[in-house]
Amino acid sequence: MPGITVPPFPSDVPTHPLLVIDYERIKAGDQAEIERLWEAATTFGFWYLKNHVAEQEVEAMFKLGAEVFSLPFEEKLQYEQGDSGRSFGYKKMGGNAVDASGLSDASEFMNIAKDDVLAFPQMIHRDYPPTVIAAMTSVVKPFVCKSLEINNTVLRVFSHRLGLPEGSLEALHTRDQQSGSEARLIRVPPMPGKALADRPTIGAHSDFGSLSFLHNILGGLQVILPGETEWKYVKPIPAHAICNVGDALSVFSGGILKSAVHRVVPPPGAQAEHERWSLVFFTRPNNSQELHALVKDSPIIAEAVKQYPEEKFNTRSTAAEWFSRRIKYQRLSNRVGPESWAASRGMEHDPGAK
């Protein structure tokens, strides 16, 4: 459980360094820090975020996660996300594919919709276990509001740097309009032993939405650079969130902002003996928003798309369709064959390693 002492992240595994961005300085409009954020987002698309002052909210969410996942399996199953392509609710361990062969995943999720949290006690999309309901106002809402504020600040910076009219990206990700934005609690059981070390607990993917605000304690998250064949760990640093750009924002920006492929494997070394907990807030575009490069709104984006095949950033789908297709076809209960995995893909570059 979070809070207990765990072995340190080993020093003999390959890691990928990320820039550490100071949220306080971003919020204050510090140009040098904004430049570093821009560099991180346009080169690889991942960065650490310090001074985000969400630690208390994150800690409370981890405690809630421990309660939720210790509920009887039958009870959790009553809140299953289902096969229709809806993400919100419970996803059981083994419910998703991690590759084209249909190998199963090894993590359980509880996904809580931003719309349900903000409208509470009204439920927009679905209901949740009483444990979640009881914590909605005191735990889930403060975490969601903090995450929305942080991601919104980053969107404002990107909007400006992309040469978009002021407020453009924020308007595509509003609090009030329905979206796939959600908080996700993740648990992976202990997976000791070399045999399991490379088996993904979450398969290679790029995130579906615009911005992810991730908190983890043990290692296991890995990234792979386009054209490379070696997966490298992202080392967790206490009180530092890991932030990344998702496909939707990469599409809006005509590929200027990078959405990187990542996966999760069992924690490295002695950490594999422990349960792995993580928590993400995903900011995703308003459901009705078409996913395409914003070429009409920014000469910078119009110029950037010229280097790619013409249709690359024209998904011909709304954010809701894009999101639900990807959720639906990664579920093993919807699997027909390797084509189902293909149907769950977004803007992923082809990872050279499995």
**Among 280, 294, 305, 319, which residue sits at the site for ligand AKG (rule: CB under 6 A)?**
280
**Among 76, 125, 173, 262, which residue sits at the site for ligand AKG (rule: CB under 6 A)?**
262
Residue 326 in contact with ligand AKG, rule: CB under 6 A: no
Rank residues 69 and 293 by Cβ distance to ligand AKG and give the closer one: 69
Nearest-approach distance from CB 186 to ligand AKG, in angstroms: 5
Rank residues 184 and 258 by Cβ distance to ligand AKG and give the closer one: 184
Q: Which 163-192 residues touch ligand AKG, going by CB under 6 A?
A: 184, 186
Rank residues 246 and 254 by Cβ distance to ligand AKG and give the closer one: 246
Nearest to 86 by CA among 120, 112, 65, 123: 112
Tokens coding 139: 């735990």
Q: What letter does residue 231 receive in the DSSP assignment? A: -
Nearest-approach distance from CB 294 to Fe ion, in angstroms: 23
Distance CA 37, CA 162 (A): 13
Helix (H) or strand (E) holding 30: none
**Among 26, 144, 183, 214, which residue sits at the site for ligand AKG (rule: CB under 6 A)?**
214
Place of tokens 């750009």: 245
Rank residues 38 and 46 by Cβ distance to ligand AKG and give the closer one: 46
Among the listed ranges 22-30, 84-92, 178-186, 206-214, the one in contact with Fe ion (CB under 5 A) is: 206-214
**Among 57, 207, 247, 275, which residue sits at the site for Fe ion (rule: CB under 5 A)?**
207
Q: Is the peptide bond before 121 cis (omega within 30 degrees of 0)?
A: yes
Cα angle for residues 328, 86, 353 (degrees, 5° grid): 40
Rank residues 207 and 247 by Cβ distance to Fe ion and give the closer one: 207
Contact pattern for ligand AKG over residues 65 through 94, marking x by CB under 6 A: ------------------------------
CB-based contact 144:80 (threshold 8 Å):
no
Distance CA 125, CA 115 (A): 7
Nearest-approach distance from CB 205 to Fe ion, in angstroms: 6
**Among 181, 206, 278, 287, which residue sits at the site for ligand AKG (rule: CB under 6 A)?**
278
**Among 202, 217, 256, 257, which residue sits at the site for ligand AKG (rule: CB under 6 A)?**
202
**Among 40, 110, 221, 304, which residue sits at the site for ligand AKG (rule: CB under 6 A)?**
221
Residue 182 in contact with Fe ion, rule: CB under 5 A: no
The site for ligand AKG, by CB under 6 A, has a size of 11
Nearest to 263 by CA among 221, 217, 232: 221
Cα angle for residues 258, 154, 220 (degrees, 5° grid): 55
Instruction: Return the HEC string of 283-296.
Output: ECCECCCEEECCCC
Task: Supply the DSSP string of 294-318, one letter for each residue.
Answer: -TTT-HHHHHHGGGS-TTTTEEEEE
Task: Supply the DSSP string of 120-182, one letter for each residue.
Answer: TTS-SS----HHHHHHIIIIIHHHHHHHHHHHHHHHHHHHHHTTPPTTHHHHTS-SSS-BS-E
Cα angle for residues 145, 70, 73 (degrees, 5° grid): 110
**Among 151, 168, 210, 216, which residue sits at the site for ligand AKG (rule: CB under 6 A)?**
216
The site for Fe ion, by CB under 5 A, has a size of 1
- Picked from Fe ion, ligand AKG, none, the partner binding residue 97 (CB below 5 to 8 A depending on kind) is none
Nearest-approach distance from CB 64 to ligand AKG, in angstroms: 16
Q: Tell me which residues touch ligand AKG (CB under 6 A).
A: 184, 186, 202, 207, 214, 216, 221, 262, 264, 278, 280
Q: Tell me which residues touch Fe ion (CB under 5 A).
A: 207
